């Protein structure tokens, strides 16, 4: 028995640990970016240096930005730590410097924020037209959470186009993963044309009960003909670029786009419970490949 117990312990540890060369889905990927035949790595950020995100790549949004969300965006809520970009939404009251008593504008009628969070983007620093985009991230599915990986074109929305590589929020009180495309559908009404894909979170958690504890890889393959969005190699949505035309005939997806990573709170994410004090969003890396 004295001999068998150590052997049994070694066997159990071997079975419970990732095999050599196998990526641990619960930890950041510290390996170098993979080589993709026929493609060149043109830009990436691994977030391996502790501190603020590289200012050559990222700028910050500030204040109340969009969608009547609860959070006040600020740079204090994002840092690179332990090999990931860490965005934290915190229940925190920040005085609104633009507050106007009696205002009907949601950005100015709030004396203070309910939460703080962060949104970073590559606008004016990095942008791309076509290629393969890979983003490995772990999302917090707490009620009220609205994390996103998305791109925008340069110009007025929605005519400049939007690609939601990843969104997570509540759809009719159902936790949902989304992959979307948007452009201008009608000039006179300024109505947005949406190609949306909505998958309940249970689509993934039914296959893996620990899905929310793990990092996952979102991928966008963008060519002159189409854009495809994948999650862990599962195709979520496709947009033909023959069909993504604005009323004036322009096509936003035949022009460069920049990248945004943000964690919103509220609105489509739902109003957080009173007990929710923090929501965490982790991005392991962003990699952009293009054809050689």
Query: Catalytic residue positions?
Result: 162, 167
Q: Specify the residue for token string 């997806």.
A: 253
Distance CA 254, CA 175 (A): 32
**Cα dihedral 232, 233, 237, 240 sign:** positive
Give the list of residues 6+ apart from residue 14 with CB closer than 8 angstroms, or none.
Answer: none
Using CA atoms, how far residue 126 sits from 108, 160, 164, 173, in Å, is 31, 16, 18, 36
* Residue 146 tokens, joined: 């609205």
CB 226 within 8 A of CB 244: no
CB 159 within 8 A of CB 250: yes
Distance CA 165, CA 283 (A): 13
Q: Which residues pair with 148 in a beta bridge?
A: 167, 262
3-state secondary structure 67-132: CCCCEEECHHHEEEECCEEEEEEEECCCECCCCCCCCCCCCCCCCECCEEECEEECCCCCCECCEE
* Residue 143 tokens, joined: 């009620």
For residue 11, give the 3-state DSSP assignment: helix
Distance CA 261, CA 284 (A): 12
């Amino acid at each position: 028995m004295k001999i068998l117990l150590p052997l049994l312990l070694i066997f159990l540890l071997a079975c419970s640990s990732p095999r050599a060369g196998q990526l641990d889905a619960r930890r950041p990927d510290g390996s170098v970016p993979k080589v993709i035949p026929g493609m060149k790595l043109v830009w990436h950020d691994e977030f391996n240096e502790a501190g603020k995100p590289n200012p050559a790549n990222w700028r910050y949004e500030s204040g109340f930005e969009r969608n009547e969300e609860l959070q006040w965006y600020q740079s204090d809520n994002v840092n690179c730590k332990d090999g990931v970009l860490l965005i934290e939404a915190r229940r925190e009251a920040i005085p609104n410097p633009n507050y106007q008593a009696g205002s009907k504008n949601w950005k100015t009628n709030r004396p203070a924020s309910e939460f703080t969070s962060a949104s970073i983007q590559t606008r004016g620093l990095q942008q791309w037209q076509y290629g393969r985009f890979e983003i490995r991230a772990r999302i917090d599915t707490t009620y009220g959470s609205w994390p996103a990986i998305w791109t925008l074109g340069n110009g007025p929305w929605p005519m400049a186009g939007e690609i939601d590589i990843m969104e997570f929020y509540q759809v009719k009180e159902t936790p949902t993963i989304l992959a979307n495309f948007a452009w201008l559908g009608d000039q006179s009404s300024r109505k947005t044309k949406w190609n949306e894909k909505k998958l309940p979170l249970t689509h993934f958690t039914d296959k893996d009960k620990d899905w929310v504890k793990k990092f996952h890889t979102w991928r966008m393959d963008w060519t002159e003909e189409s854009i495809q969005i994948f999650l862990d190699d599962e195709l979520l949505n496709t947009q033909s670029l023959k069909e993504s035309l604005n009323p004036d005939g322009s096509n936003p997806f035949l022009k460069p786009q920049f990248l945004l990573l943000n964690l919103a709170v509220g609105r489509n994410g739902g109003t957080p419970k009173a007990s929710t004090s923090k929501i965490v969003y982790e991005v392991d890396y962003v990699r952009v490949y293009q054809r050689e």
